[in-house]
Structure 1
């Protein structure tokens, strides 16, 4: 029997370079460093860390350079690899130039890796220029090819836009646009779970019979029950994920924060109830 695998799922770091005006006056870099410090205090070190998108707030090349420096320092201290996905706030060309240190391009960023028999598939649900999320046919075809052969310890998919219903129609409007296509791609495969972000609050449900879990944002949270407004809250958290006996188990972890409302985005009634 394979040994259990535990890893950390972070999301929505929303980092900018330090000399920029911070979003909501929140120091997102400090929050990310504090989270890695907490990971270092765990009795069991995670096998790896994966961040499911919205890596930066503005998506500038210097923001990605700064993020790479921070993550290089933190993963060296923790002693584990860090993997990232892109979200709606991210820029493909500037990510490639600043974070990957490659030539900039609009090429979509998705890949898979294996950790002790567990396959992690990192998808790109962003639609450049919008806040919406969608998986195009090229990526879905690639996913079907990857899943054609099972992994020894199953597969977990990491993506930015969630796929299971939330507590309100307002938050439901931020889900993946074509979940039925993802459902068809994973049907009959070895997928045991999906991990996402985007909505800045814990949200756990079933998708095609497997657990789908969104994590609270690193930079800030969103109060999950508002339908006429979004209340942005000074809190943060992450998920500890355990793969054991063929199952994905998710344990939400909360970080210290004053829980104050740092911004409220009010919707008109037509938008809020669409």
Structure 2
């Protein structure tokens, strides 16, 4: 089990910035359903900087690349290069892990399974990718990592992170691509009392709900957004964004979603899928 440590300047609160589903291309003109993903990613980073968002670390929850190229992953590295904070990342269904491992180990980016955060929290970073398909599944090994981390650090509040959503989001077309062994995932969590929230990407929309007494949250994509509560594939005109977290020492979580203003990054609303 790969373990990292994250210290905070504030002993009371640790702040995280979630960036997800950037879907970057090697080609700087690469577009996903009408949106130039490099430009929208850069615009999100610029907006975060202009708002002077404070954070101790970045959590990148998958689908960093759309075309599997090392150049696309390098675009992500370059995009966050001005930030000295560590970026903890995990793979999504669109990612190609050999290239991720070769490019995203540079600079301040780090792939680990457990991050001990300050004195009171830990992050458990899971790999839910099933190679070649859009849905997710946690292997027996990943479930064992989760169980062991929760047992070993029973006194720490825990944020569990994975790419795929571990419960239905309310859109039939999208929910067929959720975490397929979610019952096994929740069975592990139900054995422990220290999990405060689960955070995912994948659904290209903001989500903040509860399941079995545990908060479940997702962030907007930095490019296209999927329309909530839609049985068939549908895009949304809501703008690209990110999510901010404040993890407090008493186990509570404050969070908010930030978005770009304006209408610059509107998708092709006639798209039937991707």
The alignment's TM-score, normalised by the length of structure 2, stands at 0.84
Aligned residues of 1:232 and 1:264 also touching (Cα < 8 A): no
Match of 2:26 in 1: 17
Q: 1:266 to 1:30 in 2, by over 3 A?
A: closer
Aligned residues of 1:231 and 1:261 also touching (Cα < 8 A): yes
TM-superposition CA deviations, 1:43-82 (whole Å, max 9, x none): 56111111100001111222223322333x232xxx3221
Match of 1:83 in 2: 88
Deviation at 1:17, TM superposition (A): 2.1
Alignment partner of 1:170 is 2:173: yes
Match of 1:225 in 2: 229
Match of 2:259 in 1: 254
Deviation at 1:151, TM superposition (A): 6.0
Deviation at 1:113, TM superposition (A): 1.1
Equivalent of residue 82 in structure 2, options 70, 74, 77: 74
TM-superposition CA deviations, 1:152-185 (whole Å, max 9, x none): 5511011111123223322322221111111122
Match of 1:135 in 2: 138
CA–CA separation in structure 2 for the residues paired with 1:82 and 1:39: 15
TM-superposition CA deviations, 1:76-130 (whole Å, max 9, x none): xxx32212111000011121223336xxxxxxx7511122132111111110011
Count, aligned residues: 256
Aligned residues of 1:164 and 1:206 also touching (Cα < 8 A): no
The alignment's TM-score, normalised by the length of structure 1, stands at 0.84
Q: Could you say what secondary structure the match of 2:102 adopts? A: helix
Unaligned runs of 5+ in 1: 102-108, 268-274
Give the alignment of 1:168-247 within 5 angstroms.
168-187=171-190, 188-231=192-235, 233=237, 235-244=239-248, 245-247=250-252
Aligned residues of 1:234 and 1:262 also touching (Cα < 8 A): no
Q: 1:136 to 1:264 in 2, by over 3 A?
A: farther
RCO comparison, higher one (Cα < 8 Å, 6+): 2
Q: Could you say what secondary structure the match of 2:25 adopts? A: coil
Aligned residues of 1:157 and 1:193 also touching (Cα < 8 A): yes
Q: Extract structure 1 runs of 4+ deviating beyond 4 A.
A: none
Deviation at 1:2, TM superposition (A): 5.1
Unaligned runs of 5+ in 2: 1-9
Alignment partner of 1:26 is 2:35: yes
CA–CA separation in structure 2 for the residues paired with 1:153 and 1:260: 41
Of the structure 1 ranges 164-173 and 212-221, higher mean CA displacement relative to structure 2 is found in 164-173
Q: Could you say what secondary structure the match of 2:143 adopts? A: helix
